[in-house]
């Protein structure tokens, strides 16, 4: 699964997809959970909108197994890539 996760991450990073900001932030949280595990970073100020959004979505995945985060990430990226070819 690790290889497929890395492949999907690479494909997404090198695609020219115009991805909705909400989807991007969800993918970020899943990627961080899959690669680093639970979020232990200090909560940024809410006025730091982007940093807070990233922290919040990663923190919301707390307790999720890395493998589960990888599975969800892979499925989301596959769906996005398949939609771009339709």
- The token duo for 71 is 């599975």
Q: What is the pLDDT of residue 25?
A: 96
Q: Say if domain 2-13+26-84 classifies as CATH 1.20.80.10.
A: yes
User: What pLDDT does residue 84 have?
Assistant: 63
Q: Contact, 56 vs 85, CB < 8 A? A: no
Asked if 19 and 80 touch (Cβ cutoff 8 Å), the reply is: yes
Report pLDDT for 82.
87
Along the chain (86 residues), what's the average pLDDT of each consecutive run of 10 residues?
Answer: 95 92 96 97 94 96 98 96 70
pLDDT tens digits, 11-29: 999 999 999 999 999 999 9
């Amino acid at each position: 699964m690790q290889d497929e996760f890395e492949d999907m991450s690479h494909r997404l990073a090198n695609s020219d997809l115009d991805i909705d900001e909400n989807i991007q932030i969800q993918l970020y949280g899943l990627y961080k959970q899959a690669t680093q595990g639970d979020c232990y970073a200090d909560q940024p100020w809410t006025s730091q909108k982007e940093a807070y959004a990233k922290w919040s979505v990663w923190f919301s995945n707390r307790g999720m197994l890395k493998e589960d985060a990888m599975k969800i990430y892979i499925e989301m990226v596959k769906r996005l890539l398949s939609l771009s070819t339709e």
